[in-house]
Amino acid sequence: MKKILSYLFISTSVFTFAQSPNYSEDIAPILYNNCTECHNTGGIAPFSLMNYQEASSMAPQVVLSVISGEMPPWPVDTNYQRYAHERLLSNSEINKIINWNNNGTPEGDPNLAPPIPTYVVGAKIPITPDYTLKLPVYASSAYNEDEYICFTETTTFTNDKWVNAIEIIPGNLTTVHHVLVYIDNTNNNSTITNDCMGVDGNLIASYAPGSEPTIFPNNANLKMGIKIPAGAKITSQIHYPIGSGGTIDSTKINFFFYENGVTNIREVFNEPLLINTNLYIPPNTSPNFTTEFPNGNNFLTKDLSIISVFPHMHLIGQEITSYAVGPTNDTIPFERITHWDFEWQGAYNFKNLLKVPLGSKLFAKAKYNNTSSNPHNPNDPPQLITFGESTTDEMFVVFLQYTDYQQDDENLNLEDLLNVGEKEKMQFKTLNLFPNPTKNNIKVELPFAEEITYSIIDINGKIVQQNNISNTTDISLKNLSSGNYLLSIVKDDIIYNAKFIKE
């Protein structure tokens, strides 16, 4: 620990010192906006950063992570292309974290801290879905080899549904390697299919380690989405990696629909347009591969508007870049990742829709490192690796989410349009409660008339009391110990919070 702390103090010499920051006013807003989506109780991160006690105890690790650029995870190169909702800290924010740690992690006035975010366990979109597809509880049989299994459900929708957003929530984060969700166009009537490598159908969503929910552009004047026909079958292919045999999974998929009757929704397609299956990577080599679309002397036959890019490789992937070359030989960059990390991958939405005009061709190039210098190499010593869906095989795929181009698409700002389930969707409002501090009970002024459920959360982020409340109800605190608490109510995508002290 002494060596770590010494490093932290020395490293700050490259940063500008400012007035000593404190947790409540300076650090909590940074963590809530950039970190706690994963670093919360029940989140995918190994520890929580939801309150002062948790954050201060992990301060040295947090400093090391932000100085190295490991956190927040954002492997894509923003010097090559810019994206909506980038997970990047400014120099000022990094400075604050370093100085806060070096000055003893002061808490400051807890009454000045922002409201603690509320997260649904396992979900990143914090609003109630319109439909949840719950896959069967399943025990992996991947003892000696990878298992690929498809679960097929027939929907009971009596009319077509237009999807605004989709979130895939693995039931077991340590077991599920990836999930592909299709609108199934086959005549297969089986609910469970073994040795299934996908189906003939339209891919509508995917999950891999580090993935974010799929959200389609929408506002009052523009709406995009994927159409699910009435009565459609939905097939979900899940990959359980070797060694996961006996573990239990129950993955679910949350769907968020446009309201019935909404018209002029532009259809979105999600396809692996760039793919190379001819991977042959001998041991102790670091080869490069390329691919293009369309192949040969063919070019795009219409204008496209690209929404997002999702590159995919496995463990020995090192670099991957994708782009288009237009009919006037101009380059349209999609993504460049120079340090591939299998644990952090997903779709990157562009800041603006990218126009790829008629006559263009799409390209991708990738580099692999099948040597002992690659710490992620699954084989020691290195072995021959070829294309395949197993984790220890390799892949070279770039999914593109796109729609047919319309005039001025390139001027549409996706940061404003991708607003379902994003942090901007959730509003935080402060409740009035009294007396505060209090000894026995409190009364809350609600901005609505109906009865609703409240939660009281302690400084460790645990719900310690929960019940229903109305404007005429006193809340008894007789079972609470003395200390600081947060009262929280969620209604219509708004989180109402109020801090209080029990004497």
Residues 150 and 228 in one domain: yes
Three-state DSSP class for residue 47: coil
Residues 284 and 195 in one domain: no
Domain's final residue, options 67, 92, 112: 112
Query: Residue 396: CA atoms inside 13 Å, Cβ hemisphere, count?
Result: 30
Residue 263: C-alpha distances to residues 157, 164, 334, 403, 404 (Å): 18, 13, 30, 16, 17
Find out whether 204 and 167 touch, Cβ atoms under 8 Å: no
Report if pTM > 0.85.
no
Residues 287 and 375 in one domain: yes
Q: What residues make up the domain containing 413?
A: 268-419
Residues 63 and 155 in one domain: no
Q: Whole-angstrom Cα distance, residue 135 to residue 117?
A: 29
**What integer pLDDT is reported at residue 68 of this predicted model?**
75
Residues 261 and 280 in one domain: no
| pLDDT band, residue 6 (cuts 50/70/90) | very low
Find out whether 298 and 386 touch, Cβ atoms under 8 Å: no
* Residue 420 pLDDT exceeds 50: no
Write out the H or E segment, with its range, that includes residue 288: strand 288-293
Residues 278 and 414 in one domain: yes
Residue-wise pLDDT for 214-226, tens only, equals: 888 887 778 899 9
* Residue 201 pLDDT exceeds 90: no
Say how many domains are in the chain.
4
Residues 202 and 149 in one domain: yes
Domain's final residue, options 112, 137, 161: 112
Residues 124 and 213 in one domain: yes
Residues 131 and 214 in one domain: yes
| pLDDT band, residue 12 (cuts 50/70/90) | very low
| pLDDT band, residue 315 (cuts 50/70/90) | very high
Tokens standing for residue 268: 């979105």
CATH number at residue 358: 2.60.120.230
Question: Each residue of 163-192: b (16+ CB within 10 Å) or e?
Answer: bbbbbbbbbeeebbbbbbbbbbeeeeeeee
Residue 329: C-alpha distances to residues 103, 302, 356 (Å): 54, 17, 12
Residues 277 and 415 in one domain: yes
| pLDDT band, residue 252 (cuts 50/70/90) | very high
CATH number at residue 486: 2.60.40.3080
Domain's final residue, options 383, 403, 419: 419
* Residue 493 pLDDT exceeds 50: yes
- Which residues have CB under 8 Å from 282's CB, separation 6+? 370, 384
Residues 285 and 209 in one domain: no
Tokens standing for residue 395: 């892949």
Residue-wise pLDDT for 127-181, tens only, equals: 789 999 999 999 999 998 889 899 999 998 999 999 999 999 999 887 888 898 9
* Residue 37 pLDDT exceeds 60: yes
Residue-wise pLDDT for 465-477, tens only, equals: 888 887 767 889 9
Number of other CB atoms surrounding residue 46 within 10 Å: 9
* Residue 256 pLDDT exceeds 50: yes
Residue-wise pLDDT for 46-96, tens only, equals: 899 999 999 999 998 898 888 877 888 889 999 999 998 888 888 889 889
Residues 106 and 128 in one domain: no
